[in-house]
Structure 1
Amino acid sequence: MSTQRAPQCQHDRIICNQPGIGRLVLRRFDPQRDSWEFLTQLLHRAFARLASLGLHCACVDQAPDVTRARALAGDCFVAVCNGRIVGTMTLEGRDAASPCEQYRQRGVVSLHQFGVEPAWQSRGIGRALLAFASQWSAARGCTQVALDTPFPAAHLVAFYRAQGFSLVDVVRFAGRGYDSAILSKAAGSGSFGRMQPAHASVYACAHASGARR
């Protein structure tokens, strides 16, 4: 990576009310209270369906030290319901060395290690994380949010399209036996459920820290 992580801000989180869930907290992963082992197992469970389709992404069986290294390459966030982490994602700035042309573009934030506990899927948590990523990126002066997913996983491609992403490329990453769909959308698009105003400072805070370039 050619970028640096943004300084952590005291209010770098959002609390919103999701229909059918209630209080949803989106915040940074905190190694002082959160576990890399737990996060890794969450990703294993979230990606198990892809594994059953023969699509062996890194998150299917990666070790905790790999999860940690990948998370520390960017900014790792978690979704918390009832005091339990139920989702996660890592946001990275421009990666000039990436084999994916979209990830090499200036103004692009890429999303990785994105997963939601199977029992908590289809309840708006993934959509909330994507909306957070979009607004967080825009607040830092970035213009696009991009991600990749296995091209044969039609259900995931359809999900991202429904969230406003468009297919911009197809890439065969080294070590993967399938093509990956590269999808992107304009930063700043997407919305949360009812957000508590006391925690809206995440955007101003991120903007004040400067873009990770």
Structure 2
Amino acid sequence: MSISRATERLDERFTSVQPGIGRLVLRRFDPRHDSWEALTRLLHRAFSRLASLGFHCACVDQAVSLTRERALAGDCFVAVCNGRIIGSLTVEGHDSHSQCEHYRLRSVASVHQFGIEPKWQGRGIGRALLAFAGRWAAARGCTQLALDTPFPAAHLIAFYRAQGFSLVDVVRFAGRGYDSAVLSKAAVARGGMGYPHVTGSLAHCTSASPFA
């Protein structure tokens, strides 16, 4: 499959009907119809548990303008159930200005602003979004998909390890009062939990992560 053909397919809307969930759609965030304010509030809620543990991630209380700026730095996708956005992530190509050396590599795509509405956590939605992000990265010629999470948050690191990520660095990002674990995995062009291959399994997945 060529990169252009794969990119075209990744721009489509993927739909799955799941017992206990309903009609689940993965699509691009569309600022013509979607609200930056609502997306920001969703991220605030999704990261509230980390805030209660003392990890002040940007998504805990960032302004709408920052949500928009970070989303437009890459491709922002949302998970929609019965017409309501319940999850989101932004996937970005290599960031030549990042404080993280791994993110600066041209072969690495990274995940940011990844959050699931709290009452929808633990149903495999985050797991499916991460798998889709791996396909996005592979379609654009990247060989690795990376992300970061608070290093002391052992439950999150365990979740990401279960999705195939491995620890590659520990970084103290500016403005954060904690060390961040940088995790990475091979970007896979197809298969796994990525849309549209989740039918029949999504509703039965569980996770210790507040983002899945």
Query: Is the shorter-chain TM-score for this pair beyond 0.5, marking a shared fold?
Result: yes
- Give runs of aligned pairs for residues 126-165 of structure 1, distance below 5 A: 126-165=126-165
Per the alignment, residue 86 of structure 1 pairs with 86
Aligned residues of 1:163 and 1:190 also touching (Cα < 8 A): no
Matched residue of 1:78: which SS?
strand
The AA in structure 1 aligned to 2:150 is P
Per the alignment, residue 203 of structure 2 pairs with none
- Give runs of aligned pairs for residues 53-92 of structure 1, distance below 5 A: 53-92=53-92
Provide the alpha-carbon RMSD of the alignment: 2.1
CA distance in 1, matches of 2:171, 2:45: 25
Gap change, CA 1:78 and 1:194, over 3 Å in 2: closer
Aligned residues of 2:10 and 2:136 also touching (Cα < 8 A): no
Per the alignment, residue 37 of structure 2 pairs with 37
- Give runs of aligned pairs for residues 1-213 of structure 1, distance below 5 A: 11-18=11-18, 20-188=20-188, 190-192=192-194, 195=197
Structure 2, gaps ≥5 residues long: 1-6, 199-212
Matched residue of 1:88: which SS?
strand
CA distance in 1, matches of 2:53, 2:78: 26
> Per-residue deviation at 1:97?
1.1
CA distance in 2, matches of 1:49, 1:10: 31
The AA in structure 2 aligned to 1:85 is I
Post-superposition Cα deviations, 1:88-131, rounded to whole Å, max 9, x if no partner, equal 00111011111101100111110000000000000011001001
Query: Could you state the TM-score of these two structures normalised by the residue count of structure 2?
Result: 0.84
CA distance in 1, matches of 2:72, 2:8: 13
CA distance in 2, matches of 1:57, 1:143: 27
Post-superposition Cα deviations, 1:165-185, rounded to whole Å, max 9, x if no partner, equal 111110000110000000000
Gap change, CA 1:10 and 1:121, over 3 Å in 2: closer
Gap change, CA 1:138 and 1:16, over 3 Å in 2: farther
Matched residue of 2:178: which SS?
coil
Residues matched between the structures, number: 191
> Per-residue deviation at 1:67?
0.3
The AA in structure 2 aligned to 1:84 is R
CA distance in 2, matches of 1:10, 1:191: 14
Per the alignment, residue 4 of structure 2 pairs with none
Matched residue of 2:33: which SS?
coil
Aligned residues of 1:150 and 1:178 also touching (Cα < 8 A): yes
Query: Could you state the TM-score of these two structures normalised by the residue count of structure 1?
Result: 0.84
CA distance in 2, matches of 1:165, 1:105: 17
Aligned residues of 1:43 and 1:59 also touching (Cα < 8 A): yes
Matched residue of 1:79: which SS?
strand
CA distance in 2, matches of 1:19, 1:172: 42
> Per-residue deviation at 1:192?
3.6
